[in-house]
Amino acid sequence: MSVKHFSPTFLDIYRLGSEKEFIFDCGSEKAAYYMRWQLHKLRREMRKENHWLTPVAETVTISLSGTSIIAHPRDSNIEEKLMKALKEQGLRKEVI
């Protein structure tokens, strides 16, 4: 299956998820699992076709929480603690 067979909105999920956390309620756990599967399938196809958005998609983590799918930048769950630690150790002047 080619990237062009996927909804362009799926590409937006990767674009938005690379910038900040994006949450979408799929309505059921089954739908959320299916959507995550589709997003991973899209990313595989993007790699095969060397799609221009592949580097952005590679920075996004897709996870589930109940009936919701969550797209967020990789390592965003530890970023705040890491920045705080850098500040405390004098390696950063302010928390970004």
Whether residue 36 is predicted with pLDDT greater than 90 in this model: the reply is yes
- 56-65 tens-digit pLDDT: 999 899 999 9
Q: Parse the chain into domains and list their residue ranges.
A: 3-88
Per-residue confidence (pLDDT) for residue 74, from 0 to 100: 77
The pTM for the full model equals 0.74
Q: Is-contact 72 20, C-beta < 8 A?
A: yes
Per-residue confidence (pLDDT) for residue 87, from 0 to 100: 77
